[in-house]
Structure 1
């Protein structure tokens, strides 16, 4: 859930390690590196074999990343190159038509799933690869296979187009589960059947406004979308896009084509770093929000139409909820002001704690430096007390800053587990009830932790009463 950088297509292991070191030099957060098509010995289509020139020691490369607290996510399109060792094994279980001249395995059959599993476990996951980006699984008959294509299982071409991305998501997620290792990846096409799978939708389209619309609309079927950043014509558009992506399911800069960095526009480098660090500090809130997605099915990023008590009398665009308490209202290049619809109750500025309105439409002029964020009355927002550039590691004790907004009492359920395994399914997790009550006109904070052995936060948090202090 930290920050992700996808590197240029033909980067080598040395290029990628240098990129990680540049992130360190710029004091910029980095969670995982996306390795684009050049890691394959041939792509497009793919061999799923490491290129021995650019990556002579894949295991050593992945270990070097892990030593720096960074994980590796591999790009693929799931079509098999004639140059690959899998080609002859998969051919009897493939469709009648190719994509990018690559075989299309019929993953409704057990045989190709077994062949892929053995290869991926030996050559990727067993070496420490943490996830995949699944490309080119969207489109229709003139982009992938036509309606007349046939598959060995008897699945029709149209049916296979609808489920192909889902099949690969489920298959790969199961491989990681076998290792008792969680994954978080990307896919270019999905649907409601993927709401339980650990993948975020991305797209080669690049309208900022439409990206935000897609993020919002995806919540209606419980799936996730990232408004990835790739490039910009000026610093303002760059900053606005970076602000949006840091308040999305995956904070990602995709530099596969042009090698952009978070600091590519020096005039806004500090503001970009600030919003990336804010995302890192919000990890306790964000992780708990994703826990509710897992346990209760509540989308972590969701349309305002799903906010309880909100009655819409006109169209609402370009704003959404992150978790139960934070309203996000992105700005776009060229905008100086915008309207924001506030749901029932009092709402406060995230940064200052000041009251901004109550069940009304407000007009804001936020300036360039920050993305507008609003918090409901009584909300409790747990944050990391200090900035950091890497994700927490097992056994690390983290200091909390817990913010309360408004004048009402509030409760927040803070979740924690080891962050990497499925042991939480066996009960290895903790909930902490963060509570603010009112006694004799005073706000009284309290934190009660269950299963303390699985709780990695310090139990002497700093409470900030953002509104009361005003």
Structure 2
């Protein structure tokens, strides 16, 4: 939110009062407390009248410092609050006549014990950022609303990334961002998944620990600062030291939670009925038959909204006119090796029998006057489940258990963004703070019942809305996009941005959601979609089976679906890393190459895991320009080398795109291409790419439970490449480098090849 008119003046009706000095500082063994009046104190009379901010400095874990500023403590709502880890680590505190400081790990905060106000953060003898001058304070707008505000300095050349799923430019400098979930598609400044966390290329991140609306002015109102503000009387933010972007993400996700590991079958191809299309069991069967007849591997079949009767979403009952035998249908699909996902949302239409049931039991969200909150958006007379009530959560979960017992394996948790604030929650939660937080409770309820019934390793969502902590419950998809190249680029930017907020797994609607894609768009999107963490064919008013576009679409889908299955030993290893380190499977180039300034603004290519560079083709003709970092890279699809650093301009057919392997990588490739879930270590091939003389790599081939199925050590000495199995069953395996192949039969633990 902008409060100023230019640099010097406030906007009409706006007034601000800012911390002027650290007048009083007290310390204990773990924290500093600062009383910061908003005017200079030169005599005792100055202490009469006027605000004083209470600023507490502490550390929840090493290399993280928490700043909490409060004006009126009695006006701070009790909840909800994000779940943030607090280890209370040992800290060093120093207080002298000029300044007070607190050090956690390598990160130090110092507060000047005099006017003017100055709060600075440093690591390794280098200042990262500071709050100084008119920075931390109170602002009243023209409507006399009370805001807490902070300004953190940006250095020359400093770039800002993050703030959740955003579909504009990846670098946030110059943008105004409100952290407020909304259903705005992929072509606007609104976003389904807002996360008040950003990091910069100066080696630190900032997490504003506030579940409601946080307004960010990123080098916009003041071009050399990030300003953030919240309505109310408290403001808490945490400075997270890196120094690398990967280190910052590791620490941020250690604070707020890391993703669960999705089951291996979820990485295969998902096929949907699409949204408003006409379908019944015969339609579903024709799709599944068509995929099998064309030798197209399929892992999951998804039933979108109209598996339920119109006007009755959600009543969790199959429409008897089109699905008279749902149990039998699900059994028949599962006999073909398919998993089943069904759509749901947190709304209860008035025509649903569950409306009266939920209203009578107090499970539906109410207005302050006690009546059930309703409107006619989406479903006539819809109400919302009040997920702050344990009884309501159990009621909702009970409906899902019936579907799971019937044979459903996963849920698409749609919507959850347009949550009203003129309501009263069962647990007394503040409605403004619940707006974004609602998505967390909604998805947590569904994920928990999946883990309860299927086991933690089998729980997987396909979720649209999220906020801080939502990354713990994957998978998320990018929402409603058009069926164009521009929307394909928007979706990619949104996914990369979401990964920079700790979300490890992400998907999108292959071909786009709105409209029917041109066959060329569909084929280009297929390549991108199968080189994403999760891959789903889905649309709005038209089906997404490939033969409805052209026969080449079938060939392209077969090629990339099978490629993804072969890459699963490598991809599932990257998935495990997302759960252990908080690093996303799909990584912005800046995240993986922070020292390469050419990568700072790249948002049309990405790293898939640590070692594969993917540049989706965004044109029918196949022309593409992309950047290659330093070293000799290898094109995975044809084995040719590409040398960086530098830009490449190429033309690709629909069966190709820039897919490069990082120098020195060892890619574990599986022996099967018909499904994503198999014994990855059985028959695995270790493909070695440009491994330097004297270098070695340890390669872990994951098991389906995320553990180590096999571990290999690969090294090069001169023209000899050696590999040794150090862990795993005595299954056959292979070693390949520069086209030279070595094969080990069962029980053999060493392979050596000469280049």
TM-score, normalised to structure 2, is: 0.56
CA contact (8 A) 2:556 2:655 kept: yes
- Secondary structure in structure 1 of the residue aligned to 2:597: coil
- 2:720 pairs with 1:436: no
State the Cα distance separating 1:98 from its structure 2 match.
Answer: 2.4
Aligned with residue 596 of structure 2, among 311, 314, 322: 311
State the Cα distance separating 1:263 from its structure 2 match.
Answer: 2.6
State the Cα distance separating 1:3 from its structure 2 match.
Answer: 0.3
Aligned equivalent of 1:104 = 384
CA contact (8 A) 1:49 1:84 kept: no
Question: Structure 2 vs 1, CA of residues 281 and 43 (structure 1 numbering), >3 Å: closer, same or farther?
Answer: farther
CA contact (8 A) 2:575 2:585 kept: yes
State the Cα distance separating 1:467 from its structure 2 match.
Answer: 6.1
CA contact (8 A) 1:6 1:256 kept: no
- 2:470 pairs with 1:159: no
State the Cα distance separating 1:205 from its structure 2 match.
Answer: 2.0
Which one scores higher on RCO, CA 8 angstroms, separation ≥ 6? Answer: 1
- 2:298 pairs with 1:18: no
CA contact (8 A) 2:411 2:461 kept: yes
Question: Structure 2 vs 1, CA of residues 379 and 136 (structure 1 numbering), >3 Å: closer, same or farther?
Answer: same
Aligned with residue 546 of structure 2, among 230, 239, 262: 262
In structure 2, stretches of 5+ residues that fail to align are 1-266, 368-372, 742-754
Question: Structure 2 vs 1, CA of residues 366 and 145 (structure 1 numbering), >3 Å: closer, same or farther?
Answer: closer
CA contact (8 A) 1:47 1:83 kept: no
RMSD: 2.5
CA contact (8 A) 1:165 1:187 kept: no
State the Cα distance separating 1:18 from its structure 2 match.
Answer: 2.7
State the Cα distance separating 1:94 from its structure 2 match.
Answer: 1.9
Question: Structure 2 vs 1, CA of residues 230 and 341 (structure 1 numbering), >3 Å: closer, same or farther?
Answer: closer
CA contact (8 A) 2:287 2:545 kept: no
In structure 1, distance between residues paired with 2:309 and 2:682: 42
In structure 1, distance between residues paired with 2:299 and 2:405: 20
Deviation string 1:430-457 (CA, Å, 9 cap, x unpaired) is 242233211342111233324x4xxxxx
- 2:489 pairs with 1:209: yes
Aligned with residue 506 of structure 2, among 216, 219, 225: 225
Aligned with residue 200 of structure 1, among 476, 494, 500: 476
Matches within 5 A, 1:25-424: 25-43=293-311, 45-91=313-359, 92-95=362-365, 96=367, 97-98=373-374, 100=379, 101-121=381-401, 123-138=402-417, 144-179=418-453, 180=455, 182-206=458-482, 207-223=487-503, 224-230=505-511, 232-264=516-548, 265-308=550-593, 310-313=595-598, 315-334=601-620, 336-388=622-674, 390-392=675-677, 398-408=682-692, 409-419=695-705
- Secondary structure in structure 2 of the residue aligned to 1:185: coil
In structure 1, stretches of 5+ residues that fail to align are 139-143, 453-457
CA contact (8 A) 1:106 1:153 kept: no
CA contact (8 A) 2:464 2:479 kept: yes
Most deviating of 434-443 and 226-235: 226-235
In structure 2, distance between residues paired with 1:431 and 1:360: 38
- Secondary structure in structure 1 of the residue aligned to 2:495: helix
Aligned equivalent of 2:737 = 465
Deviation string 1:185-242 (CA, Å, 9 cap, x unpaired) is 2122213321111221231122111011112111111223323124654322111111
Aligned equivalent of 1:4 = 270
CA contact (8 A) 1:42 1:83 kept: no
In structure 1, distance between residues paired with 2:349 and 2:291: 34
Aligned equivalent of 2:750 = none
In structure 1, distance between residues paired with 2:352 and 2:324: 17
Question: Structure 2 vs 1, CA of residues 235 and 412 (structure 1 numbering), >3 Å: closer, same or farther?
Answer: farther
Name the structure with the higher helix share.
1
In structure 1, distance between residues paired with 2:596 and 2:681: 43
CA contact (8 A) 1:411 1:433 kept: no
Question: Structure 2 vs 1, CA of residues 316 and 440 (structure 1 numbering), >3 Å: closer, same or farther?
Answer: closer
Most deviating of 212-221 and 341-350: 341-350
In structure 2, distance between residues paired with 1:328 and 1:152: 47
- Secondary structure in structure 2 of the residue aligned to 1:344: strand
In structure 2, distance between residues paired with 1:98 and 1:135: 18
Question: Structure 2 vs 1, CA of residues 89 and 137 (structure 1 numbering), >3 Å: closer, same or farther?
Answer: same
In structure 2, distance between residues paired with 1:269 and 1:412: 37
CA contact (8 A) 2:347 2:383 kept: yes
CA contact (8 A) 2:475 2:507 kept: no
State the Cα distance separating 1:348 from its structure 2 match.
Answer: 1.6
- 2:723 pairs with 1:445: yes
Larger Rg computed on CA atoms: 2
In structure 2, distance between residues paired with 1:240 and 1:163: 36
Name the structure with the higher strand share.
2
Deviation string 1:164-188 (CA, Å, 9 cap, x unpaired) is 2221211111112112151222122
State the Cα distance separating 1:43 from its structure 2 match.
Answer: 4.4
TM-score, normalised to structure 1, is: 0.88
- Secondary structure in structure 2 of the residue aligned to 1:221: coil
- Secondary structure in structure 2 of the residue aligned to 1:150: coil
In structure 1, distance between residues paired with 2:621 and 2:725: 41
CA contact (8 A) 2:420 2:435 kept: no
State the Cα distance separating 1:308 from its structure 2 match.
Answer: 4.3
Question: Structure 2 vs 1, CA of residues 113 and 321 (structure 1 numbering), >3 Å: closer, same or farther?
Answer: same
CA contact (8 A) 2:634 2:661 kept: yes
State the Cα distance separating 1:349 from its structure 2 match.
Answer: 1.2
Deviation string 1:298-329 (CA, Å, 9 cap, x unpaired) is 21111111114532146322011111100111
